[in-house]
Structure formats: structure tokens, C-alpha cells
Amino acid sequence: MQRIGSSTELTPRRALLTQPKMGRTRDELAAGLRSWPTSTPYILFYFLDTDGITIARVLHHARDMPGIWSWPRH
């Protein structure tokens, strides 16, 4: 997992950092997991932290998300 918490990140990341709850909750995949579609064909999966977010995975939108068995736990 990668931590993002710096205010020097790119603008879309900064938006997610300032409003991390704007992502979709994905508790069906892992407790506390959230997702955010990017401007690319990839979806960002992350957990909320007290000082930012922790990225759990970045996957192509065509993947079978529920079919993935080993989702990270926070």
C-alpha cells in the first residue's frame, strides 16, 4: 500500500485528500475500503486515514472486482 498525504500531490489527488469521503464505499470488498474513478481506465481503491488516505490498489475498470479474493485489510 502507498500513503498519500502530501499537499504537493497532483490536483485530482489533492481533491480526494481534502474530501476523502467523496469516494464510493466498497465494504462488500473489504471493510472500510473506498473507490474513486480516475480520468484513466483505472479505479483507485483506498482507505481513509487520520491524515490522508492509504491506497490499497489501482485496477483497470474491466476487472471483476468481487472476483478478487485477496483485498488488503486496513
Which band of pLDDT confidence, cut at 50, 70 and 90, is reported for residue 47? very high
Q: What is the pLDDT of residue 12?
A: 62
Q: What is the pLDDT of residue 13?
A: 60
Which among 21, 31, 8, 12 has a CA at the least distance from the CA of 56? 31
Tell me how far apart the alpha carbons of residues 14 and 49 are, in angstroms, rounded to a whole number. Answer: 14
Grid cell in block for residue 64: 471483476
- pTM for this prediction: 0.75
CATH topology of domain 2-67: YaeB-like fold (3.30.2310)
